[in-house]
Each structure stands twice: as structure tokens, then as C-alpha cells.
A and B are shown apart, each in its own frame.
Chain A
Amino acid sequence: MTTVLEPPSPEALTTAPADDTGLMRRPTEPQGVWSWITTVDHKRIGILYGVTAFIFFLAGGIEALLLRLQLAKPNGTVLGAAAYNEVFTMHGTTMVFLVVMPLSAAFFNFMMPLQIGARDVAFPRLNAFSYWAFLFGGLFLYSSFLLGGAPDGGWFGYAPNTSIVFSPGHGIDFWVFGLQILGIASTVSAVNFIVTMLNMRAPGMTLMRMPIFSWMTLISSFLILFAMPVITVALFLLAFDRNFGANFFNPAAGGDPVLWQHLFWIFGHPEVYILILPAMGMVSEVLPVFSRKPLFGYPVMVFSGIAIGFMGWGVWVHHMFSVGLGPVAVSAFSLSTMFIAVPTGVKIFNWIATTWKGSLKLSTPMLFAMGFVAMFTIGGLSGVTHAVAPHDRQQTDTYYVVAHFHYVLFGGALFGIMAGIYYWWPKIFGTMLNERLGKLNFWTWFLGFNLAFGPMHILGLQGMPRRIYTYDDSLGLNVWNMVSTVGAFIIAFSVSVFMFNIWHSHKRNRVQAPGDPWDARTLEWSISSPPPHYNFAEIPTVHALDEFWHRKYTEDDDGRPVRVAGSPGSEGDDAAHDDHGDDDHGDDDHGHGIHMPSPSYFPLVAAFGLPVMGYGMVYGRSSGQSYVVVVLGALILLGGLFAWAMEPSAEPEEEGHEPAEPATDDQPALVTAGGEEPSPPAPAPAPAPEESGT
């Protein structure tokens, strides 16, 4: 990775100029499809992540509706057993890996650099590579529907059901290699975000002045960095079992199927926090802004997030309380799981305290954020009941658990992400979303969610196991199943309201968003909406937590906010706050001499090698010659990486613009943020955070 940002050698500069020598001409289009395909701009990549994840969300949602239709009545006939198992497997895999994670990544990408006052992420082309690997991984996984059947072993893929004896088709192979590709995407972007946050914060932004969403991004990125390798190992072992006749999980040959469960959940539980922490961060941004109060106990919020991140590694066995691991292990994990509720509870009370005695404007983002606090609490409480291991013996693998994690991942993560979407939409697209439609969106979302998942608590306790494609009339589960299905369709309605809102707000009744529509607190609101492509004309100098708020307000003796005269947005501030940004994100960085990284084809090329290798592995299992395709894919990947390494991260200025500083000639401006001497950032997330501070 270090090579990516090293200054190009003189040879590279002379042999690969921007014009017609080189392997491919360097893309230069500022607009149009190719500008998106070759972009390395963190904001565009963020939008690509968001749009792609939303499309997968629709796919996962349709799968959910199919499941609910099948279960609406006893002995349902909408899906057969085989189709049901494929659909529930893909629903879970989609929502975790292709929806919630990339939706969070969309905000990491777009917002985190703006929040910390940077011009881009540390490795812009690597960032593009992450996106393409994610997209190709998702498409690879979904192509299984057309190629003989989707995976049907559940998103948890328990051995030995996933062995070739019990799952001879290619579905599981697609799952294995699809997740490997997605794992590469996640790991690479986690490294990128960590390096960015530790090295590229604006001058004065100490870690404890970093906005809370960026903090949660940091914690989440560390969790991804450490959790993904575990699932990678597990998937490789499974691939060896399936492709090469290894017996890691085969009990008949001395292997251990329970080993899979340990590996999967050592990844799987931190994964839950990977999914929820970013949403917690979003909610922690929204609540203060719409309460006109700072976040209550910011340090405690940061440290409880860190505590959750650490403790999240010591609770995985609570997914395995019915495995029969013995009273000592069960007791230990029972206790650790219970006590992870403490930092979570602290967060909940701090959120409530943030709103307490505030001035609450119940706009759509705020409704979703408060809905998050209320719904996530329910998921947290049912989580504590799982920690009580004997309790769990009755509810694990039932619909009670389905209810629980939907209250965490839908009531939590998706409510939080929706809050984030409504909150940051004006910043991202420069357009206000319609409030009336937004509120309709929220209330139908809230109602549908509770109708769909609330009854599942009851169903589970009344004896309905998970992952069953049918149930008998005699079990007495009919009523709540029907209610749940109705709820699912109300959610579907709510999602269509959301899509209608986007269309309506952009095409029918467009309201241009000002730079700071919510009177917000963090730096991303100090620039125009949407931000110019170089983000900040001048890298801001940070003096306080909630820097932007402090530029607008000060506190009087009573602790009440008072407008700073001449501050952005105050009367008499005729320049308005987006004084640099009005010229928008064209090619008008001329006045500032800002030199951004250049677009590149190679992240796309390199990432394309991954699914090619994946197909080679999938079909290599049934016919050995197909392994040739793996070699082909590897060559594409390596070729892409080689060309990428040979091309400078930013082309030299062509038209003779004087760069702001001569030293930045062949370096993207972002490295020199704050006007320091350009030096390549540390290759690893070296703990050098305070240097960039005061």
C-alpha cells in the first residue's frame, strides 16, 4: 500500500504521461458515466456505495416479503422448501454484507473526511478499489440465482450442512467466494479509514475533538480490520473442505463442526457491532443538532463505544449456548454478555439526557433518531435475556431471536441510517427532502416495523423455530404470523414512500439546500451543499469539539447559546457560510491551487480480477480445468495493481497552473493538508494522532 502514495519515480513520470503513451490514457472526464467509473473522489464513492447498497436493500426486501408471504398462513405454498432456504440465506447475507455494512461505508466515505477537515481519504484509489470489489462481490453472489441456485445454508453456514455431502450444488461455493470478495472490500476500506482518521485530521482536531460519528467510524473500522480475517480463515477452511477434500469440519474424519461455529461467531459477534456502531454515531450527531444541545457526555460516549468494541470480542459463545459447551464456558460467556449491556445502556441514557431539557425539533431525522433510541432499547433488553444462558435455551434458534436482532439491526442500524440519510441528504445532494413525506415515511416505517417484528417475540416463545419454511396449523401460530406479514408489507409501503420522496424532492419540488440547513455542529456543514470536489478551500483549524457550532455560537454565563456576531448564518453575514463553495464542484479550484488525486481505471481493473477468480474456484470444484480461470483472474488483479502502482496518484498540472506550494507538484493536496511538509503517510495505522493536533 505504501507504493500507492509514494512519489512516482522520474521514469514513471516520463514513461507514463497523461497523453497517449502508457497502458491506458488517464481518464480526465469531469462529468458523465466514465467520470463515475474512474472516480477516486471519496464523495462520489460514498454515493456509489449508497446507491448500490440501496438497490441491494430492495433485493433483500423483496426476499423478506417472499419469506413473509410463505409464512403468512400455515402450510404455505408460495415458496417450496428449497426456494425458501435459498431466499432466507440470501436475505440474511444481503442485509448484513450488501446493505447495512455498505450503507455505513457510504457515510464513512462521504462524511468522515468532511467531518475531520480532510480533502479525501488517505488512499483514494484504494477506496475506489474497495467499492468495485464490493459491487463485484455482490453481483457475484447474486449471479448464483441464475447459475443453478443460490446458497441455502443460512448466512451462518453451519458445518457440516455446508459440506459437499449435504450441499452438493454450487450455491455454497458462491457464498464462500462471494463473502471472500466482500471481505477484501471491507478490510481494505477499514485500513483506508483508519489511516485517514489517524493521520489526516485538520490541525487542532485532537482525537477528543473528533465528531462522534467519525469516532464510531474509527471503532467500527478497527472491528472490521480484526473481524474480517477470522471469517476469511473460516471460509478458506470451508473452501479447502469443499474444493480439495480437506476435513476441517468433517466429524467422520476427525474434523470438528463446532470449530466452524467458534470461528464464525468470533467474526459474527463483532460484526453485529460493526453494523450498529455507525448507526449509533449517526444518531449521536442528529440528537444534539435537533435538540440544540451538545451531546451529553461526549467522552463517555466515545469510551463506551470503545468498550463495546473491546467487549464485543468476548461474547461470541452466547450464539452457542445450546451447543453443549459445559457449565464453565457457558457461565463465563453469560456474564461477559450481560456486562456488555452496561456501556450500551450508558449510551441510551446519554442520548435521552442529550434531548432532556433541549429544544426538540421533531424533523424527520430526529424522528428516526428517537425511534432508534426507543427500538434499539427493546433489542438491547431482549439481548440481555439471551445472556441469561438458561433463558436462552428456550429462545435460541426461535423467532424470538429473529425479533431480537431485527430490533437491533432494523430498529437500530436501519433507523439510525435513515436518520443519517435524512440528516445528510441536503449536504450530499444539495437538495432538501420533503418533510411531510419524510414524516409519512417515518410513521409507516415505525408502524410496519413493530407489526412485523414485535409479534415475532411472541411467536418464538410460543415455539416457532427459525428457518422453517412451513409450520402446522396445530401450533396455534397463525394470527401473529399473519400480523407479521402485514407489517412487512407496511414496511414495503414505507420504503416506496421514501423513494417517492427522493423523486418528488428532486424532480417536482426541488428546494436548494443551504450549506447549513439544520444549524448543525460539525465541519461538514461549514461548506456548501453539495460540497466542492476539493471539500475545503482552506483546511480549517479546529479549536473545539463541535467546531462549527463554536464558530456560530458562544455560551453566556448561564450556559445558553448566543450568536457570535458576524458568524456564518448570522445576520449581517452577507458572505454566507459557503463563501468558498458557491462556485460548486466544477473545475474551479484554480483560485485555490488545490491539486486533487486524478481519476484512474486501475482500481476497477484490479477489482474485476476478483470475481473472475471466484468463478474459477466455484467451477474448479466440479471440473479441474476451470482453475485456469483463477489464474486468469489473478493476472487481471495483478496487472491492475501493477499499472496502478506505476501511475502517479495525481497527474502533474497540465496547463501550468502554479500549485499552492511547489513541493506539492506530484503529490495530491490532501497529503499536505494544513500546509505541512509533504511526507507519505505512515503505511500502517501508526498511533501518531496527536501530531496533527495542536
Chain B
Amino acid sequence: MTRARRLRALSMMVAAALLLVSCGDQELPQNALDPQGPVAQKLANLINPVFAVAAVVFVLVQGLVLYSALRFRRRSDDEAPRQVHGNAKMELGWTIAPALILLVISVFTVGTIADINSKAEGADVVSVNVTGHQWWWEFEYPDRGVVTANELHIPTGREVALRLTSDDVIHSFWPPKLAGKLDVIPGRANFMTLEADEPGTYFGQCAEFCGLSHADMRLRVVAHTPEDFDEWVRTNAAPAERPTEGEAGEGAALFRQKGCASCHTVNGYSAGELGPDLTHLQQRKVFAGATFDLNEQNLRVWLRDPPGEKPGSLMPNLELSEDEITKLIAYLETLK
């Protein structure tokens, strides 16, 4: 193939890439290169210079390969290049030079490892126990008497100390804009610090293959101002009010009758432990492993056939009638 064709292919690739980048102007809620808190920032402070060094080496090596391929192409069959068998000095040089570069990188690497492994301490620290389940997240605030699922609520500007463990298989907790991932392992406790600079909703998801619906094990971290966070805690620590009348009242009865109560806790009404705590379901924006937005329509679809919506879901298809679903949703809507 000629040089011209090679260049044409190359330029086409570059053009295509540029085109795609320019029209890919979408939001990237899980972008790991967009840190939104000091923990993720520490990682980025290492990632960016390492990428820069890698880019230099990349350009150097690719440049040499391309140059060699173009410059030293055989032009006549009589060419008899000098037989160079090696050069100890040069080889020593390109052994030592990369080693030195890596040595410098390693100093910063070890420093950052020590830094991100230091545990958050102090009265200001918010403690959360995170439990991974197939396929949803449970968040328990032991000092505050709050249990919720799939949405981790935190105050801004304060360190959050997560204690991670799993109820079944290995998962991995990863909110890319706030922190690197850490595995969630049954029989082990891992510790991770998290902090958000600004209020907002940060996306994340399970990063370790954990079975059938691994892809549907997503999470949100919702950062509030400290005042709003205290308000959120107050609301969520209170028991649920139980409706007794109307559709909601019938729904509450169905909640027990159909067995929902044996898996789900509604503080003050039921104490199931297999599924997410629903005491303040309506405080959340998402459900079922943060896969669906919480609204009447999605709940209806979900209740018709949970394993159909999230493969392998432990919540079975209860063969509910549309009427029963309506009533159950009416009840769920009271869980504010």
C-alpha cells in the first residue's frame, strides 16, 4: 500500500474522530475525569500528569515507528544496509530513561495511595454503612437512624466515611465524580471517604460483575447543603404514617396480604429485610437499583413483572391485578 493511501486512511480516521467529538456534546454524568470533590480531585491530580507523560511517550514512539516505516522503505532491491547488531550504550539509555520517569511517577503514586487510604475522622464526619445486594444498594446512617436505598444523601463540604460490605456476592461502589471505586465484599469491611463540593446529584454504578443484572445496579449520590441534609435526616428518621382509608388504606392492607411486608421494611408497619426499606420511598427519585425514575407509570410497570424489568430480581412476579397495583401504588405514594 502506498504512502499516500496510508496518509489518506489516517486523515480520514482523524477527521471522523473530530466529527464525533464535536457532536458528542452530551452531558457525561459518570465522567471520571470531571472530579466534583476533594477525593476525586486527588486522583485527578495524579491521572492528568500521568496521561501527559504517556502522551509524550506515545507521540515519540509512534513518530519513530512512522518515520522509520516511511524514511527507510526499500527503494531498490540492491540496498545493503549496515548490519548493526546492537549498541550497549543506547540500550542502557532506553533502559534507564523510562526507569527514571517511572521512579518519579512512583513517588507521587505512593504519596497518593497513603493519602486516599487515610480514614476520615472527627466529629464532623458523616458515617454511612453501605451494603451491596443483588442488585441494589442499601445505605444505613447508624448515628441518625436512617435507612434508605440506591440514593446516598450527603452534606456538601463534609467528609463522609463509608463502611462497605456485601450481603451476597462481590460488588464495587463507584461514584466516578466523587471517588474512585472500592469493592464491596461479603465477609469483609472496606472503608472509603467521599466528599462533594457542591450540591447536586452524582451518578454511579456497581463496577464489579455481580451476576445477572450487574448492569442494573446503579446508584446516585445526592449532595445537599448541610442545612438541607439535616432536614433530609429529620424527615427520613421518622416512622411512616399508615393510611387507613381509601385506595391507600386498601393498598396498605394488600402490602401485607401479598407478602410485600415480609421483604420490605416500612418503619412502624413492617420489618422485612430482603428488599429495600420503603419507609420514605417518595423521598427518592429512583428505584430498583436506580434503574427507573420513581413515578406512577414506572411503578406500575415494575409491579406487573419485576424480573421482567430487572432480570433475576429477587422480587417475584406476584401476579397482581391492575386494581391491586393501583391500590399498592396509592399506598406507596403516601410513604413520603
**A residues touching B (Cβ–Cβ < 8 Å)?**
80-82, 85, 152-154, 158-161, 166-167, 251-252, 256-258, 291-294, 296-300, 322-324, 326-327, 330-331, 334-335, 338-339, 341-342, 345-346, 348-350, 352-353, 355-362, 367, 370, 373-374, 377-378, 381-382, 384-385, 387-398, 439, 442-443, 447, 450-451, 460-472, 474-476, 478-480, 483, 555, 558-562
Given contacts A323-B185, A374-B61, contact A463 B50 (CB under 8 A): no
Determine the chain B residues whose CB is within 8 A of the CB of A465 once the complex forms.
174, 205-207, 214-215
Determine the chain B residues whose CB is within 8 A of the CB of A475 once the complex forms.
28-30, 203
5 tightest Cβ-Cβ pairs between the two chains A and B: A463-B30, A393-B180, A251-B187, A468-B215, A297-B86
Determine the chain B residues whose CB is within 8 A of the CB of A394 once the complex forms.
32, 40, 43, 47, 176, 180-181
Q: Are A154 and B209 in contact (CB under 8 A)?
A: yes
Q: Are A373 and B65 in contact (CB under 8 A)?
A: yes
Min CB distance, A211 to chain B, in Å? Answer: 15
Q: Are A355 and B68 in contact (CB under 8 A)?
A: yes
Residue of B nearest to A329 (CB): B113
Most buried by A among B181, B182, B205: B181
Determine the chain A residues whose CB is within 8 A of the CB of B74 once the complex forms.
292, 359-361
In the complex, besides A350-B91, A390-B47, 4 extra interface pairs with C-beta distance below 8 angstroms are A154-B209, A257-B170, A324-B185, A483-B20
Question: With an 8 A cutoff between CB atoms, is B13 at the interface?
Answer: yes
Residue of B nearest to A555 (CB): B83
CB-defined A-B contacts under 8 Å, sample of 29: A85-B211, A154-B209, A166-B134, A251-B186, A298-B85, A300-B86, A323-B185, A330-B113, A334-B109, A334-B110, A342-B99, A349-B91, A355-B69, A360-B69, A361-B74, A362-B73, A374-B61, A374-B65, A377-B65, A398-B207, A461-B33, A462-B30, A462-B31, A463-B32, A467-B215, A468-B214, A479-B20, A558-B82, A560-B82
Min CB distance, A178 to chain B, in Å? Answer: 19
Min CB distance, B246 to chain A, in Å? Answer: 35
Min CB distance, A72 to chain B, in Å? Answer: 14
Q: Are A339 and B65 in contact (CB under 8 A)?
A: no
Residue of A nearest to B20 (CB): A479
- Complex Cα gap A397–B98 (Å): 27
Min CB distance, B92 to chain A, in Å? Answer: 9
Given contacts A251-B187, A360-B69, A461-B33, contact A293 B58 (CB under 8 A): no
Given contacts A396-B181, A468-B215, contact A357 B64 (CB under 8 A): no
Residues B81-115 near A (CB distance < 8 A): 81-87, 90-91, 94-95, 98-99, 102, 105-106, 109-110, 112-114
Determine the chain B residues whose CB is within 8 A of the CB of A331 once the complex forms.
109-110, 113-114
**B residues touching A (Cβ–Cβ < 8 Å)?**
1, 5-6, 9, 13, 20, 23-24, 26-33, 40, 42-43, 46-47, 50-51, 54, 57-58, 61-62, 64-66, 68-69, 72-74, 79-87, 90-91, 94-95, 98-99, 102, 105-106, 109-110, 112-114, 116-117, 134, 168-170, 172, 174, 176, 179-183, 185-188, 190-191, 203, 205-216, 218, 291, 311-312
Determine the chain A residues whose CB is within 8 A of the CB of B312 once the complex forms.
81-82
User: Out of B13, B102, B214, B218, which one reaches A339, CB within 8 Å?
Assistant: B102
Min CB distance, B198 to chain A, in Å? Answer: 18
Q: Are A166 and B9 in contact (CB under 8 A)?
A: no
Q: Are B30 and A443 in contact (CB under 8 A)?
A: no
Q: Are A294 and B83 in contact (CB under 8 A)?
A: yes
Given contacts A257-B187, A384-B102, contact A389 B30 (CB under 8 A): no
Q: Are A388 and B72 in contact (CB under 8 A)?
A: no
Determine the chain B residues whose CB is within 8 A of the CB of A377 once the complex forms.
57-58, 61-62, 65
Q: Are A476 and B24 in contact (CB under 8 A)?
A: yes
Determine the chain A residues whose CB is within 8 A of the CB of B117 once the complex forms.
326-327, 330
- Complex Cα gap A335–B24 (Å): 37
Most buried by A among B23, B169, B182, B186: B169
Determine the chain B residues whose CB is within 8 A of the CB of A382 once the complex forms.
54
Determine the chain B residues whose CB is within 8 A of the CB of A479 once the complex forms.
20, 23-24, 26
Q: Are B80 and A560 in contact (CB under 8 A)?
A: yes
Q: Are A360 and B86 in contact (CB under 8 A)?
A: no
User: Out of A85, A341, A391, A398, which one reaches B98, CB within 8 Å?
Assistant: A341
- Complex Cα gap A315–B6 (Å): 38
Min CB distance, A354 to chain B, in Å? Answer: 9
- Complex Cα gap A355–B64 (Å): 10
- Complex Cα gap A176–B293 (Å): 40
- Complex Cα gap A293–B182 (Å): 50
- Complex Cα gap A209–B176 (Å): 52
Q: Are A390 and B86 in contact (CB under 8 A)?
A: no
Residue of A nearest to B76 (CB): A359
Q: Are B86 and A298 in contact (CB under 8 A)?
A: yes
Q: Are A293 and B81 in contact (CB under 8 A)?
A: yes
Q: Are A388 and B105 in contact (CB under 8 A)?
A: yes
Determine the chain B residues whose CB is within 8 A of the CB of A334 once the complex forms.
106, 109-110, 113
Q: Are A476 and B28 in contact (CB under 8 A)?
A: yes
Min CB distance, A168 to chain B, in Å? Answer: 12
Given contacts A166-B169, A394-B32, contact A480 B20 (CB under 8 A): yes
Determine the chain B residues whose CB is within 8 A of the CB of A388 once the complex forms.
46-47, 50, 105, 109
Q: Are B311 and A462 in contact (CB under 8 A)?
A: no
- Complex Cα gap A130–B208 (Å): 35
Q: Are A324 and B190 in contact (CB under 8 A)?
A: yes
- Complex Cα gap A86–B97 (Å): 45
Given contacts A334-B106, A393-B180, A396-B181, contact A450 B113 (CB under 8 A): no
User: Out of B43, B79, B214, which one reaches A467, CB within 8 Å?
Assistant: B214
Given contacts A390-B116, A394-B176, A443-B1, contact A80 B203 (CB under 8 A): no
- Complex Cα gap A555–B208 (Å): 58
Q: Are A391 and B61 in contact (CB under 8 A)?
A: no
- Complex Cα gap A296–B87 (Å): 8
- Complex Cα gap A52–B323 (Å): 59
Q: Are A296 and B84 in contact (CB under 8 A)?
A: yes
Min CB distance, B240 to chain A, in Å? Answer: 30
User: Out of A352, A359, A384, A447, which one reaches B9, CB within 8 Å?
Assistant: A447
Determine the chain B residues whose CB is within 8 A of the CB of A167 once the complex forms.
211
Q: Are A322 and B181 in contact (CB under 8 A)?
A: yes
- Complex Cα gap A461–B47 (Å): 11
Q: Are B311 and A352 in contact (CB under 8 A)?
A: no
Min CB distance, A366 to chain B, in Å? Answer: 9
Min CB distance, B51 to chain A, in Å? Answer: 7
- Complex Cα gap A385–B182 (Å): 18
Determine the chain A residues whose CB is within 8 A of the CB of B187 once the complex forms.
251-252, 256-257
- Complex Cα gap A298–B169 (Å): 48
Q: Are A397 and B185 in contact (CB under 8 A)?
A: no
Q: Are B84 and A322 in contact (CB under 8 A)?
A: no
Determine the chain B residues whose CB is within 8 A of the CB of A81 once the complex forms.
212-213, 215-216, 311-312
Residue of B nearest to A338 (CB): B102
Q: Are B95 and A346 in contact (CB under 8 A)?
A: yes
- Complex Cα gap A397–B205 (Å): 11
Min CB distance, B76 to chain A, in Å? Answer: 8
Min CB distance, B257 to chain A, in Å? Answer: 30
Given contacts A166-B211, A296-B85, A358-B72, contact A257 B185 (CB under 8 A): yes
- Complex Cα gap A534–B321 (Å): 78
Q: Are B87 and A297 in contact (CB under 8 A)?
A: yes
Min CB distance, B101 to chain A, in Å? Answer: 9
Determine the chain B residues whose CB is within 8 A of the CB of A476 once the complex forms.
24, 26-29
Determine the chain A residues whose CB is within 8 A of the CB of B31 once the complex forms.
461-463
Given contacts A257-B170, A291-B81, A385-B50, contact A359 B72 (CB under 8 A): yes
- Complex Cα gap A558–B116 (Å): 59
Q: Are B69 and A463 in contact (CB under 8 A)?
A: no
Residue of A nearest to B108 (CB): A388
Min CB distance, A20 to chain B, in Å? Answer: 58
Q: Are B61 and A348 in contact (CB under 8 A)?
A: yes
Min CB distance, A572 to chain B, in Å? Answer: 18
Determine the chain B residues whose CB is within 8 A of the CB of A442 once the complex forms.
1
Q: Are B109 and A390 in contact (CB under 8 A)?
A: yes
Min CB distance, A365 to chain B, in Å? Answer: 14
Most buried by B among A291, A334, A463: A463
Residue of B nearest to A156 (CB): B209
